[in-house]
């Protein structure tokens, strides 16, 4: 027995028109969706750019001047909009074109003194805290030293190995770029 050939029903012109209209509507909706997605990506990229160039600062620590609080290779996240800096704030500052990390130990009009035993004295009080290393004076400044206006006195925690305000004097507040708000430890990355 021979198979009967299938015959398709004749196409209704109205159905073909509906299909074409539906296809054009879908294509237009796809274009709108793609443009909407592109717009969202652009807005998110702009927001990220503003956050990480104007509000936050991300950098990687280089060297061990703040050991053990900050280790070489740690990722530091700083807040740029900090107005004032308190004693013991860990900050990111620029010195000689290099971004450095250190601890604020003296503010405007504070009296800094270093004795031969390695003791740091700020405004008549010996500073020890959790610092493991002695603080010896270097030849740059004469002690006791009064921190000038609009400046801070910054030291590294690894006092015997760090370059800090003992080497180049006080740091102008305009050179302090951010207060470190958190750090991520590098684990063999």
pLDDT 10s digit of each residue in the chain, 189 long? 556 566 655 666 668 778 888 899 999 999 999 999 999 999 999 999 999 899 999 999 999 999 988 999 999 999 999 989 999 999 999 999 999 999 999 999 999 999 888 889 999 998 877 677 888 999 889 999 999 999 999 999 998 889 999 999 999 999 999 999 999 987 755
pLDDT of the residue at 3: 63
Per-residue exposure over 11-45, b if at least 16 CB sit within 10 Å of its own CB, e if not: eeeeeeeeeeeeeeeeeeeeeeeeeeeeeeeeeee
Pick from 75, 104, 100: nearest CA to 87: 104
Instruction: Specify the pTM.
Output: 0.79
pLDDT of the residue at 1: 54
Query: Would you identify the CATH topology of the domain 61-184?
Result: Umud Fragment, subunit A (2.10.109)
pLDDT of the residue at 36: 95
Q: Is the dihedral of CA 15, 21, 22, 27 positive or negative?
A: positive
């050939």: which residue's tokens?
Answer: 5
pLDDT of the residue at 147: 97
pLDDT of the residue at 129: 72
Q: Which residues, 6+ apart, have CB-to-CB distance to 1 below 8 Å?
A: none
pLDDT of the residue at 48: 93
For residue 54, give the DSSP letter.
I
**Domain ranges, ordered by start, for the chain:** 16-55, 61-184
CB 67 within 8 A of CB 102: no
pLDDT of the residue at 188: 56
pLDDT of the residue at 102: 96
pLDDT of the residue at 4: 59
pLDDT of the residue at 77: 95
């Amino acid at each position: 027995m021979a198979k009967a050939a299938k015959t398709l029903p004749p196409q209704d012109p109205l159905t073909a028109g509906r299909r074409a209209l539906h296809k054009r509507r879908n294509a237009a909706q796809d274009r709108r969706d793609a443009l909407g997605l592109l717009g969202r990506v652009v807005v998110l990229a702009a927001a990220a750019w503003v956050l990480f160039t104007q509000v936050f600062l991300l950098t990687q620590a280089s060297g061990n001047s703040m050991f053990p609080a900050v280790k070489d290779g740690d990722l530091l996240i700083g807040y740029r909009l900090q107005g004032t800096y308190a004693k013991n704030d860990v900050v990111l500052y620029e010195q000689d074109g290099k971004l450095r990390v250190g601890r604020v130990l003296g503010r405007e009009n504070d009296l800094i003194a270093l004795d031969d035993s390695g003791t740091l004295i700020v405004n008549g009080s010996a500073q020890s805290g959790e610092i493991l290393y002695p603080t010896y004076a270097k030849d740059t400044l004469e002690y006791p030293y009064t921190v000038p206006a609009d400046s801070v006195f910054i030291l590294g925690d690894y006092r015997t190995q760090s370059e800090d305000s003992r080497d180049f004097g006080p740091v102008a507040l305009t050179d302090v770029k951010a207060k470190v708000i958190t750090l991520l430890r590098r684990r063999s990355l």
